[in-house]
Each structure stands twice: as structure tokens, then as C-alpha cells.
């Protein structure tokens, strides 16, 4: 009898992307840095509609699964009113980027214990 777990692991090498609900308010995330822009495109991804900077607040209007090409979201900027499509990797839930927690410091090594010149269990 072969045991088959009821859960599935994602295929190796595939990054987990965030999932956002239609109607959610999220923020633009620029992979290149906070001073760069993300380009909104038409539904086919062919024509540039507008550019938004990192941290711009947007509302999710629609989404489009694209298999191995990644999910795309249609967003509308709250301030400028621009609407267009972009990849899921260009969105985040918080205004500021999530920082990676610092690595834990190595545990302190105990100081060298002095040898009492007798073995355990031996009397002096």
C-alpha cells in the first residue's frame, strides 16, 4: 500500500505570489527601488497606460490568472484615477516594504570550564 498525502507541495522553483481580493486597497511595489515606477498596461499588456511610483495606493478592480506567466491585476489609482493592468509582484499589502528580520546572533559560547583534575565520581 502506498501512502499518498492529501496535501500538495508547490512545484520546486515556483515562487509563491500574493493573492489579492477584488475591492482590496493595496500599494504599488517597485522591484528596482522606491524611486522607480511601475507601468500600467492595457488588458493585453501591449500598450502602456500610465506609470505609478512605489507606495502609490490603488484599488483592485479585477484579476486575470495567466498560469506560468503569473496573475495580473487591474488596478485603479485612488489619487490620479489611472486604471490599468500589472503583474502581482508589483503589489503589496502595506505602505512600507516588508523588511527581512535581522538574523539572530549566534548563541554565546560558555566560558572554558576549569578541570578539577579528578574524574566524575571520584573522591578527593
Label residue 4 by pLDDT band (50, 70, 90): low
Q: What is the pLDDT of residues 50-76, one digit of tens each?
A: 989 888 999 999 998 877 788 999 999
Q: Is 22 in contact with 62 (CB distance < 8 Å)?
A: yes
| Whether pLDDT at 9 is above 70 | no
Distance CA 83, CA 115 (A): 74
Phi and psi at residue 41, to the nearest 5°: -120, 175
Any idea which architecture 25-92 has in CATH? Roll (2.30)
Which residues sit opposite 86 in a β-bridge?
A: 73
All structural domains of the chain with their residue ranges? 25-92
Amino acid at each position: 500500500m502506498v501512502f499518498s498525502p492529501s496535501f500538495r507541495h508547490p512545484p520546486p522553483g515556483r515562487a509563491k505570489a500574493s493573492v489579492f481580493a477584488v475591492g482590496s486597497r493595496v500599494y504599488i511595489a517597485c522591484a528596482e527601488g522606491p524611486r522607480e515606477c511601475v507601468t500600467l498596461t492595457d488588458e493585453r499588456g501591449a500598450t502602456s497606460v500610465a506609470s505609478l511610483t512605489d507606495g502609490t495606493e490603488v484599488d483592485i478592480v479585477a484579476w486575470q490568472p495567466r498560469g506560468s506567466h503569473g496573475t495580473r491585476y487591474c488596478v485603479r489609482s485612488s489619487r490620479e484615477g489611472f486604471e490599468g493592468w500589472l503583474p502581482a509582484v508589483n503589489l503589496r499589502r502595506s505602505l512600507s516594504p516588508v523588511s527581512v528580520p535581522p538574523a539572530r546572533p549566534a548563541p554565546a559560547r560558555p566560558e572554558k570550564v576549569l578541570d578539577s583534575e579528578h574524574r566524575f565520581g571520584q573522591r578527593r
